Amino acid sequence: MRARRSGPALLLLIVTASVAATKAPDPLLAARRLYNQGQYDQALEAAQQAASNPSIVSSARLVMGRARLERYRQTPMPAELDTARSELRAVDPRAIDARERLELQIGFAELLYFEDRYGAAAELLDPVIDASTTLAPEAHERALDWWATALDRQAQSASPPDRGVVHFRISERMEQELRRDPASIAASYWLAASARGAGDLDRAWSAASAGWIRATLARERGDALRADLDKLVTQAIIPERAARLPSKDRRQAAESMTADWEAFKKIW
């Protein structure tokens, strides 16, 4: 009897699986997946399709606005930025969930950054960085990177004492992030970059070296971190360290530090 009862149950399972397999894909889920994969053109197309459904139009507009911001970052076109702003401002906060509201704030902060309103962008991002850990890991990294980048740009127009305060603020946050996640790409880079910005070139050198090693924890993202750190060391940290020496010693010191850095990279 048990063998006969298993027949219909198995058939129902197969039929159910078959129906699920033929179900049309969710365009909003597809849009989010494509966005996270960095395929912004395709994400925009999927989100536009999802926007035809009134019940999820705000969620779709959120993806559309952020995809356009990423396209603007790659190829700055004013019309793209204007459209991104319109899409994000059309999002009804009451129609999206708490995680999406975090994403909306990040999107608004990116808009402010692209409008050269760096201080406002950083202030908007600061309270949501910790909460962004509830999003995809990539979303938290992006929020952290945008926050640090906005503060760094703000610091460039500040007086030297104020500039040091801003970079110290970045350093503190990145130290906290690395204690939480040693594989953080943004924290590994910005710990070195903020030390350099604050004028602590010895720590910048040490942090860049440590970041180079931490890149092995970041899997496929590690190559991008190493490329950024290499550029920071060779184009900023080494020349600035050499510039602090008497002029007659600068060239030799720069060559020595460059050789030391290249040797370090070969070993690690």
Predicted local confidence at residue 234, as pLDDT: 98
Backbone φ and ψ for 24, nearest 5 degrees, come out as -65, 140
Determine whether 159 is exposed, middle or buried from the number of CB atoms within 10 Å of its CB (0-12, 13-18, 19+): exposed
Kindly tell me if the per-residue pLDDT of 8 is higher than 70: no
> Mean pLDDT lowest for which of 17-31, 65-79, 99-113?
17-31
Query: pTM (2 decimals)?
Result: 0.82
d(CA 233, CA 203): 12
What is the tens place of the pLDDT at every residue in 180-226?
999 999 999 999 999 999 999 999 999 999 999 999 998 778 999 99
- The angle at the Cα of 174, spanning 135 to 68, to the nearest 5 degrees, equals 45
Kindly tell me if the per-residue pLDDT of 1 is higher than 80: no
> Mean pLDDT lowest for which of 116-120, 123-127, 132-136, 165-169?
132-136
C-beta pairs of 253-261 under 8 Å, 24+ apart in sequence? 258/234, 261/233, 261/234
